[in-house]
C-alpha cells in the first residue's frame, strides 16, 4: 500500500488515539484480580466505538474542507466541477482519509489489548507494548516530516508516558 | 451530394485548469484521444487556484468535441481556440505587411 503524506496525518492521529484511549481503559478497568474477559470486553468495546467515531469524524471534517476547496476552485474557473474526474479525486480522498483514521485507530487499539487476547495480560505488559508502538510511530513521524528521528520518537513516547501517568494518578485517587 | 467534414489537423487552445490533475495527466489523456498524433502543452501563467496552459494538438482527424470533453473532465475550461488548421494538409499562417 502506498501512503502519501496526507494519509500519514490520519494514520498517526488514529493510531495514537486508539492506542492511548484503549490503554487508558485497560489501566482504569484493571483493579485487583479482574477477569481477562472483562478487560477485553471493555477495551474492545471502546476500540470499536473509537474507530467508528474517528472514521465518521474524519469523513465529516474532510468533506467540509475538501468540498470547500473544490468550491473555491470552481469560483476561479467559473464553472462547476460536478461529475468530473476532479470531483471523483475529491471523493476518493475523503473516503481514503476516513478509512485511514478509523482503521489505524482500531489497529492502534489492538496493541494494548493484545496481551489480554493472547494470554493472561497485565497493565504493565500493555504499557510496555504501547510505548514500543509509540516509538515505531515516532519513527514513522520522523520519516514523513524528514526531521530528526530521535526527537520524533522521544516526543511520541514522552506524550504516551504522560497519558499513562495521568491515568494512573486518577486511578489511585479512587 | 454528401458533404464531407473537413478534417482538423491542428488545434491551438488557450485553457484554464486547476492545479490538480497536472498537465502531465492532461497531456497523457489528450494523447490518447483518437486520431491525435501529438500534443504539446506549455504553462504560461499560474495563480493560487488555477493555471493557464497553451495546448497544441496535431493529428489526422481531430475531434474538437472529444478534446473539449477530456479537458472539461479534468476540470479545465477552453478559453479560446487560438489557431485551427483543417483540410487535407496543414497550412501555415502567412505573414502579411500588417504583421511585419
Q: Which residues of B touch A72 (CB under 8 A)?
A: 49
Residue A84 three-state SS:
coil
Residues A3, A14 contacting (CB under 8 angstroms): no
User: Is there a domain that residue A107 lies in?
Assistant: yes
Q: What pLDDT, on a 0 to 100 scale, did the predictor assign at position A110? A: 96
Looking at the structure of chain B, the number of domains it has is 1
User: Is there a domain that residue B60 lies in?
Assistant: yes
Residues B75, B22 contacting (CB under 8 angstroms): no
pTM over 0.80: yes
Mean pLDDT, residues A35-41: 89
Q: What pLDDT, on a 0 to 100 scale, did the predictor assign at position A1? A: 40
**pLDDT reading at A127 higher than 50:** yes
User: Is there a domain that residue B70 lies in?
Assistant: yes
Find the residue in B nearest to A84 (Cα): B73
Count of helix runs (H) and strand runs (E) in chain B: 2, 4
Query: Which of A124, A135, A143, A128 has the alpha carbon at shortest distance from A159?
Result: A135
User: Is there a domain that residue B19 lies in?
Assistant: yes
DSSP-assigned letter for residue B35: T
CA distances from A47 to A27, A44, A173, B50 (A): 14, 5, 25, 42
User: Is there a domain that residue A166 lies in?
Assistant: no
Q: In which domain, by residue range, is A106 found?
A: 5-126
Residues present in chain B in total: 100
Find the residue in B nearest to A73 (Cα): B49
Q: What pLDDT, on a 0 to 100 scale, did the predictor assign at position A169? A: 83
Looking at the structure of chain A, the number of domains it has is 1
> Domain with B70 in it: what CATH number?
3.30.70.1340
**pLDDT reading at B28 higher than 70:** yes
Residues B83, B12 contacting (CB under 8 angstroms): yes
Crossing angle of the two packed helices A5-29 and A85-118, in degrees rounded to 10: 30
User: Is there a domain that residue B92 lies in?
Assistant: no
Q: What pLDDT, on a 0 to 100 scale, did the predictor assign at position A174? A: 53
- Contact state of B72 with A78 under an 8 Å Cβ cutoff: no
**pLDDT reading at A165 higher than 60:** yes
User: Is there a domain that residue B24 lies in?
Assistant: yes
**pLDDT reading at B90 higher than 70:** yes
CA–CA distance, A92 with A163 (Å, rounded to integer): 34
Read off the pLDDT band of A80 (50, 70, 90).
very high
Backbone phi, then psi, for B6, in 5-degree steps?
-65, 145
Q: In which domain, by residue range, is B47 found?
A: 8-86
Residues with Cβ < 8 Å from A164, sequence gap 6 or more? A23, A27, A127, A130
Burial (CB count <10 Å: 0-12, 13-18, 19+), residue B27: middle
Compare CB distances from B77 to A75, A79, A85 and report the shortest one's residue.
Answer: A79
**pLDDT reading at B57 higher than 90:** yes
- Contact state of B47 with A72 under an 8 Å Cβ cutoff: no
Q: What pLDDT, on a 0 to 100 scale, did the predictor assign at position A30? A: 83
Residues of B with CB under 8 A from a CB of A: 16-18, 20-21, 47-50, 72-77
Strand partners, B40: B56
Residue A61 three-state SS:
helix
User: Is there a domain that residue B12 lies in?
Assistant: yes
Residues B50, B17 contacting (CB under 8 angstroms): yes
Amino acid at each position: 500500500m502506498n501512503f502519501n503524506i496526507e494519509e500519514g496525518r490520519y494514520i498517526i492521529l488514529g493510531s495514537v488515539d486508539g492506542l492511548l484511549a484503549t490503554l487508558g481503559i485497560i489501566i482504569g478497568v484493571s483493579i485487583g484480580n479482574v477477569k481477562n474477559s472483562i478487560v477485553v470486553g471493555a477495551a474492545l468495546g471502546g476500540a470499536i466505538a473509537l474507530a467508528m467515531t474517528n472514521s465518521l469524524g474524519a469523513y465529516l471534517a474532510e468533506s467540509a474542507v475538501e468540498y470547500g476547496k473544490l468550491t473555491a476552485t470552481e469560483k476561479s474557473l467559473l464553472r462547476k466541477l460536478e461529475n468530473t474526474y476532479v470531483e471523483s479525486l475529491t471523493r476518493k480522498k475523503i473516503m481514503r482519509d476516513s478509512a485511514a483514521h478509523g482503521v489505524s485507530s482500531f489497529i492502534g487499539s489492538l496493541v494494548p489489548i493484545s496481551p489480554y487476547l493472547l494470554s493472561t495480560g497485565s497493565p504493565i505488559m500493555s504499557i510496555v507494548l504501547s510505548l514500543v508502538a509509540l516509538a515505531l510511530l515516532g519513527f514513522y513521524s520522523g520519516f514523513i516530516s524528514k526531521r530528526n528521528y530521535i526527537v520524533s520518537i522521544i516526543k511520541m513516547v514522552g506524550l504516551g508516558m504522560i497519558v499513562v501517568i495521568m491515568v494512573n494518578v486518577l486511578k489511585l485517587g479512587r | 451530394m454528401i458533404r464531407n467534414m473537413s478534417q482538423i489537423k491542428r488545434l491551438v487552445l488557450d485553457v484554464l485548469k486547476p492545479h490538480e490533475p497536472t498537465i502531465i495527466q492532461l497531456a497523457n489523456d489528450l494523447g490518447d484521444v483518437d486520431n491525435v498524433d501529438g500534443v504539446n502543452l506549455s504553462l504560461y501563467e499560474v495563480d493560487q487556484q488555477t493555471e493557464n496552459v497553451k495546448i497544441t494538438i496535431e493529428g489526422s482527424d481531430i475531434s474538437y468535441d472529444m478534446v473539449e470533453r477530456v479537458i472539461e473532465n479534468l476540470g479545465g475550461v477552453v478559453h479560446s481556440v487560438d489557431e485551427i488548421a483543417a483540410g487535407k494538409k496543414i497550412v501555415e499562417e502567412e505573414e502579411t505587411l500588417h504583421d511585419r
